[in-house]
Amino acid sequence: MAELKQSMLVSRIAHSRFLWLAVIMVTCVSMIRVFAGSPENIPPPKGKYSEDTVCVEPVEIMRRRHFEYILDHRDKTVIEGIRTKQYSLIGCIDCHITPNERGEYARYSEETHFCASCHLFTAVTIDCFQCHADRPEEAVRTTLDLSGTTAWFLREVHERLQLDVLVQ
């Protein structure tokens, strides 16, 4: 009898609509918090591209096609030496990656980085920032001046990683 009562209780809990609703809601809220990088935390861009347009193209088009513009522009820049600002990655970064209220610039590994915020949400993996700077030059230079130990830190990480492999 006791076993039957227990199983009835379990099934009642499992079939409770309110409980499921609550579980779904909590999951949704935490998903949004984790993946959306909460837009209010992303510092606004430096300014407008021109009087008429906020970005180099209308925002709706940029959201869908920015990678096509960048891809097209990169070959023109590298091979032909065309250095127009409109579709240059440096231009994107200079305008969109701005310091937060504490004066810190987000890196691509952080969800408050303008590019990362959306790429995380849409599960897009890019490798632009393995080579390209994810922050404007002044931010890179500040980091270097501040610590001067970046190289040391990298070396430490590298050595520890190697050590871990050996231990395993």
Residues 142-161 that bind another protein (CB under 8 A): 143-144, 150-152, 154-155, 158
Tell which one of 19, 83, 124, 126 touches another protein (CB under 8 A).
Answer: 83
Measured CA to CA in angstroms, residue 142 lies from 17, 46, 84, 145 at distances of 54, 18, 26, 5
CB of 141 to another protein, least distance (A): 8
Residue 76 touches another protein, criterion: CB under 8 A:
yes
Position 85 contacts another protein (CB under 8 A)? yes
Q: What share of the chain is helix, strand, coil (3-state, %, to 5)?
A: 65, 0, 35
Residue 126 binding another protein, by CB under 8 A: no
140: number of Cβ within 10 Å: 14
Please state the closest distance from residue 133 (CB atom) to another protein, in A.
4
The residues, any chain, with a CB within 8 Å of residue 36's CB and separated by 6 or more, are 117, 121
Residues 6+ apart with CB under 8 A from 69: 56, 57, 87
When asked if residue 80 is in the footprint of another protein (CB under 8 A), the reply is yes
Site residues for another protein per CB under 8 A = 74-76, 78-85, 90, 93-94, 130-133, 136-137, 140, 143-144, 150-152, 154-155, 158
